[in-house]
Every structure is written in structure tokens, then in C-alpha cells.
Amino acid sequence: MFELLRRTATHPSDAKLAQAVGNGDGEAMAELYRRHGALIYRFTLRMSQNAAIAEEITHEVFLALLRQSERFDPQRAALSTWLCSIARRQLWKHFERNERFVSIESFDEPFDMPSAEPDPAEWLTRKEAIAAVREGVDHLSLPLKEVIILCELEEMTYEQAAQILAIPLGTVRSRLSRAKARLALLLAGVPACAEKEKSTL
């Protein structure tokens, strides 16, 4: 079927390829992995900070696509969004198995954060700034970390993030605002204990 798709379209859509996967087309699966495998791996690696976990979950995500391709509805979400939502569920199952539980509700409450002065980018070189941001993201709580990874690092829309995280659009905005404010404090050198997240690791 993949050969037919290539003859009828120079760049077959994800929906067509997913349909082909459902019919057992291995080349269609390989093409979807080439298109979206790196995204799933980056997201799971940034969240878990563990290459072995990222590789395992990426593998599980594409196995889920192979077994459940009929569940993908292109009218509801892009395939990349659907795959990321599967990866996210697998990640949280892993965190729960390893008792890395974080209460989500507390991160959606209104909050006031002081402005971070001076702007860290003014005194860090570009290379140092990038390294500092990555380290700061790693210190965010899981609910804040995943939203900033999706919206800022992967440059997804708020709508896509809301679908992946299964939360309202307004909650995505509030968590992202909170994540940016918390990250600014971390980059400004505010001690972590001053805004320590309520979590059990």
C-alpha cells in the first residue's frame, strides 16, 4: 500500500500512512517513525532525563500506533499530538511506578511571583544561558516541566498542548505562565527552597 501511496501522492499525509499501518504496511510505519520518532524521543528524554526510558517509551508509542491505529482520528488531532499524548500517559505511568508522584491540582491555583531582576540573559553568554535554561527546566515540577517543553521547546500551540495533557486551554496558559515565572526565579539564583514544589520523590 505504501508504494501505492507514493505513486498517488508525493508526500502522503499522516492520516493516510496511519491507515496503511493499520493494514500492516511496514514501510508506512517506518515513514511515520522518521517523521515523528525524534519528537517523541526528545519529549520523553526531556521529561525523564533518562535515555533508556526515552527509548523504551518511544518504542512503546509506535507499538501502540501499530496495534491501535484505528483509534487515531485526524479530525480531532494531528498524529504528532496523538502520539505525544500516548507518550505522556506512558511517562506518568512510569513516574507513578517509581513513586515520583506530583499533585497536579496545586499547580493550577492563582499565584503571585516576584519579577526576577536582573534578566539572566544580560549576564550570561548565549551558551551559558542555554545550559542554564535546560538545567532550570529539569528543576521544575513535572506538570510545569511538561507544558514548557511542549509549548516552548517543541513550539507546539496551546491547543496541541491542551490535547496532549488532557486539560483546558486556560490551564495550559496558567501553567505555562507559572513555569516561566518559576524558571526566571531559578535562573536569577533564587534558592529552590523559596518556591519548593510540593512533591514526593
Give Cβ neighbours of residue 7 (< 8 Å, ≥ 6 apart). none
C-alpha cell at 72: 487515531
Residue 67: pLDDT band with limits 50, 70, 90: very high
Please measure the distance between the N-terminal and C-terminal CA atoms of the chain and give it in whole angstroms.
48
C-alpha cell at 167: 486539560
The one-letter amino acid at 31: E
Distance of alpha carbon 7 from alpha carbon 144, whole angstroms: 44
Position 104 scores a pLDDT of: 43
C-alpha cell at 159: 491547543
pLDDT exceeds 60 at position 194: no
Position 50 scores a pLDDT of: 93
Predicted confidence (pLDDT) per residue in 12-30, tens digit: 999 999 999 999 999 999 9
3.20.20.105, 1.20.1250.20, 1.10.132.20, 1.10.10.10: which CATH number matches 109-200? 1.10.10.10
Position 103 scores a pLDDT of: 43
Which one has a higher pLDDT value, 81 or 192? 81
| Average predicted confidence (pLDDT) for the chain | 80
CA atoms within 13 A on the CB side of 42: 12
- Which of 83, 34, 79, 39 lies closest to 63, judged by CA? 83
Q: What is the CATH class of 2-97?
A: mainly alpha
Whether omega before 118 lies within 30 degrees of 0, making that bond cis, reads yes
Residue 101: pLDDT band with limits 50, 70, 90: very low
Q: For 66, phi and psi rounded to 5 degrees?
A: -65, -40
Predicted confidence (pLDDT) per residue in 114-167, tens digit: 444 445 444 445 555 556 667 788 888 999 999 999 998 899 999 999 999 999
> CB burial class (10 A; 0-12, 13-18, 19+) of residue 166?
exposed
Q: Where are the domains of the chain?
A: 2-97, 109-200
Distance of alpha carbon 162 from alpha carbon 168, whole angstroms: 6
